[in-house]
Amino acid sequence: MTTVNDPHNVESTSGSAAAADPTRGFADPGPLGLAAFATTTFLLSLFNAGIAPENLEKTVLPLALFYGGLAQLIAGLFEFRKANTFGATAFVSYGAFWLAFAAFVQFVEPALPEADHKTATGLFLLGWAIFTLYMFIASLKTSGALIGVFLFLFLTFLALVLGTLAGVAAFATIGGILGIVTAIVAWYASFAIVTNSTYGRQVLPTAPRS
């Protein structure tokens, strides 16, 4: 008869647990996705707010491609593996946003007549504002930290859409400031999750809602 202390029994139990949850040994991809999103959003928002010089704006593109884009896509794919529908949808979508943004700035916008630049940018951002609105609604069952990220992100997109389509520069500046706030909240969420995981206890609150 097999006893509780039998190492073969422990191995069998461990194997059964791993079979039941094949993602048991996976690290949480959330902090990576949030950090990539926050850093790229912060840099772009410095330009939108008029804090950074406009002639340096293309410095955002490498970050958009490799951190905001690629790193978030990777995080999103692991969220799929961990059966996190919300995280997978968010990270893959916003990873694709940054890749699309880089392509838009580098290839699409220069090919358009200058008079159409603001309209094209506004339409590009409008779709993301709509997407962010329903992700904000979905986030209401996640945590206070993520609710804050999606609330400020929606307000950021909304202000930028109004600024570009209505041609009101003040809205674009407000959008940049809101983008900086969004980045700070996302950095906090990433910091809290990775710190709590590293310390094995709650060091920083995230206010879970479910």
Q: What is the pLDDT of residues 7-24, one digit of tens each?
A: 344 344 444 545 566 667
For residue 65, being part of any structural domain is answered with: yes
For residue 5, being part of any structural domain is answered with: no
Domain around 155: 27-199
Q: Quote the pLDDT of residue 3.
A: 39
> If pLDDT is split at 50, 70 and 90, which confidence band does 26 have?
confident
For residue 114, being part of any structural domain is answered with: yes
Q: What is the C-alpha to C-alpha distance for residues 51 and 174, in angstroms, rounded to an integer?
A: 12
First to last CA, the chain: 43
Q: What is the C-alpha to C-alpha distance for residues 112 and 109, in angstroms, rounded to an integer?
A: 5
Q: Quote the pLDDT of residue 161.
A: 98
For residue 12, being part of any structural domain is answered with: no
In the chain, the number of structural domains is 1
For residue 1, being part of any structural domain is answered with: no
> If pLDDT is split at 50, 70 and 90, which confidence band does 150 have?
very high
Report how far apart, in Å, the C-alpha atoms of 86 and of each of 42, 75, 105, 134 are: 23, 12, 28, 11
The verdict on pTM exceeding 0.85 is yes
For residue 44, being part of any structural domain is answered with: yes
For residue 82, being part of any structural domain is answered with: yes
Q: Is the pLDDT of residue 5 over 80?
A: no
For the chain, give percent helix, strand, coil, nearest 5: 80, 0, 20
Instruction: Give the angle 131-133-136 at the CA atoms, nearest 5°.
Output: 110
Higher pLDDT: 20 or 153? It is 153
Listing DSSP states for 154-206 in one string gives HHHHHHHHHHHHS--HHHHHHHHHHHHHHHHHHHHHHHHHHHHHHHTS-SS--
